[in-house]
Amino acid sequence: MGSLCDNLPTDSTTTRRFQEMVAGLKSRLPRVLDPTVTALKKLLEGDETLEALCHSMFAEAKELVEAKRAHQVYLAINSIDVLMQMFDYILTQSPVWEDHDRPDNLGGLPFNLILMVLMETHSGLQLFRHVAVNQHLKHILQTWAQFLESPNSLYVLNSQTGWLSPRAVARLEDVANKPTGGIRNFIDIYDCPDPNDPETLGFPSWDAFFSRKFKPGLRPTPSHDALLANGGSVILNACESKPWHITRCCSSGTAIVLKGTSYSIRSMLGNDPLAAHFENGTVYQAYLSALSYHRWHAPVSGIVRKVLYLDGSYFSQLPMSDILAMEKSQSYLATVAARAAILIDAYDMRVGLVGLVAVGMGEVSSCEAFVKEGDHVRAGDEIGCFHYGGSTHCLLFREGLDVLFEPIVEDKTKDQNIPVRSLLARCYST
């Protein structure tokens, strides 16, 4: 049936990284696969439907590469056996630093890199939505997560070509400074265990670096006077992120269309009964890149009503003719990707129940809540974080609440994050 995508990344860095991974794989063959990968291989080869999907996926990928005259290296993954060997190879690979100035550069995202072409085929779209396949992918990714939490993952954290090289640090500083106009150095922005160690800054693992904390006081909550100005109930920004979309009058059960994407609040919350509280309410969605701060903070003061962890599809995206399909699939991913939801009953009864839905996307970022049902939180408190990859999040508000967002939220000319814990919106009961 061919491809759903009209483009392939032309970035030479992405192609070079793909070549390096293929070469790295070949250099260590033959190899006994990790048990999690072996289990997926048995599933794909033992189920006639899944095996047929795989074969057609590889054939469609070949057609795509040839039609777009892409580099022949993208044809290297052409069988279940090779794909499984590549999955196994990645289990001991950390995300490398690449020049992130190019949005189509996937060099630092190993799983997305090797699946880049396969995900853009009709058969791949079906395969990566299959429930049993995703159950096995979850186990593979949990194994990878264990590696990323170990000291063995630190080899990419170095001052020469890694995440602590001058160019990398400059980019990370720019992303953190831009929202406030600051000019701070990395070690003045982030809480580093050992600022005098140029190779790791004292971080014990790749994931510890990825989920690093801001220095205390770097992102203060608004002053008391600022909170009282203009009245209304205050909503703070839950994540350091770029606004993506706002939708009002959302039905909990019917499909909502955002940027051409169809989903529902009920699906987003895994059909939990509390989804009814957001019937005809407002949904705000924003995006976090891999270079951003990845911790979540309470948007309101209140009591945690419920915490949900929802499994999902790990490598699924919308069919679209765009090399940034994963990023532009955010609204869709909010209902199908692995995610966590924290529902907070605001002390301010005018606000009512507020939902934070944290969604893992690029490199299947996982979600960890630090709070549980019944906990009391203050607006701005840290309540969770993402691990391992880029992410998106949504805030959900009830019907009858007029949510007036700050001007910067709806200013399409601003290509930057909004500071976490800053004023995001004011709410007025209607």
Q: Is residue 186 part of a domain?
A: yes
Q: Are residues 409 and 270 in the same domain?
A: yes
**Per-residue confidence (pLDDT) for residue 395, from 0 to 100:** 96
Which H, E and C letters describe 113-141, residue by residue? HHHCCHHHEHHHHHHCCCHHHHHHHHHHH
Q: Are residues 92 and 122 in the same domain?
A: yes
Q: Which of 150, 183, 210 is the last residue of a domain?
A: 150
**Per-residue confidence (pLDDT) for residue 88, from 0 to 100:** 94
Q: Is residue 2 part of a domain?
A: no
**Per-residue confidence (pLDDT) for residue 15, from 0 to 100:** 73
- Report residue 385 as tokens: 């974080």
Q: Are residues 240 and 319 in the same domain?
A: yes
Q: Is residue 212 part of a domain?
A: no
Q: Are residues 253 and 398 in the same domain?
A: yes
Q: Are residues 230 and 141 in the same domain?
A: no
- Its domain, for residue 115, covers 16-150
Q: What CATH number does the domain containing 297 carry?
A: 2.70.70.10
Q: Are residues 395 and 323 in the same domain?
A: yes
Q: Are residues 283 and 396 in the same domain?
A: yes
Q: Is residue 210 part of a domain?
A: no
Q: Are residues 291 and 342 in the same domain?
A: yes
* Residue whose token pair is 């990323």: 148
Q: Are residues 374 and 249 in the same domain?
A: yes
**Per-residue confidence (pLDDT) for residue 320, from 0 to 100:** 44
Q: Is residue 357 part of a domain?
A: yes
- Report residue 315 as tokens: 């490598």
Q: Where are the beta strands (DSSP E) in 363-430?
A: 366-369, 376-377, 382-387, 391-397, 401-405, 423-429
Q: Are strands 353-360 and 256-258 parallel, antiparallel or unpaired?
A: unpaired
Q: Are residues 42 and 76 in the same domain?
A: yes
Q: Is residue 4 part of a domain?
A: no
Residue 261 contacts by C-beta under 8 Å, 6 or more apart in sequence?
318, 329, 330, 331, 332
How many C-beta atoms lie closer than 10 Å to residue 166's C-beta?
9
**Per-residue confidence (pLDDT) for residue 327, from 0 to 100:** 46
- Looking at residue 194, its amino acid is D
Residue 423 contacts by C-beta under 8 Å, 6 or more apart in sequence?
222, 226, 227, 234, 235, 236, 237, 406
Q: Are residues 140 and 175 in the same domain?
A: no
Q: Is residue 355 part of a domain?
A: yes
- Asked if 399 and 279 count as a contact pair (C-beta separation under 8 A), the reply is yes
Q: Is residue 364 part of a domain?
A: yes
**Per-residue confidence (pLDDT) for residue 228, from 0 to 100:** 73
Structural domain total, the chain: 3
Query: pLDDT digit of tens for each residue in the chain (430 aa)?
Result: 333 333 344 456 667 777 787 787 877 777 899 999 999 999 999 999 999 999 999 999 999 888 877 777 777 889 999 999 999 999 999 988 876 554 444 456 788 888 888 988 999 989 988 989 988 998 998 899 999 999 999 999 999 989 999 999 999 999 999 999 999 999 999 999 999 999 999 999 999 999 999 999 999 999 877 777 777 899 999 999 999 888 887 766 655 544 444 558 888 898 899 999 998 899 998 988 888 999 999 999 999 999 999 877 677 554 444 444 444 444 444 445 678 999 999 999 999 999 999 987 655 568 899 999 999 999 999 999 998 866 789 999 999 999 999 999 988 777 789 999 999 999 998 7
* Residue whose token pair is 């019917």: 254
Q: Are residues 277 and 399 in the same domain?
A: yes
**What distance in Å separates the CA atoms of residue 9 and residue 216, rounded to the nearest whole number?**
39
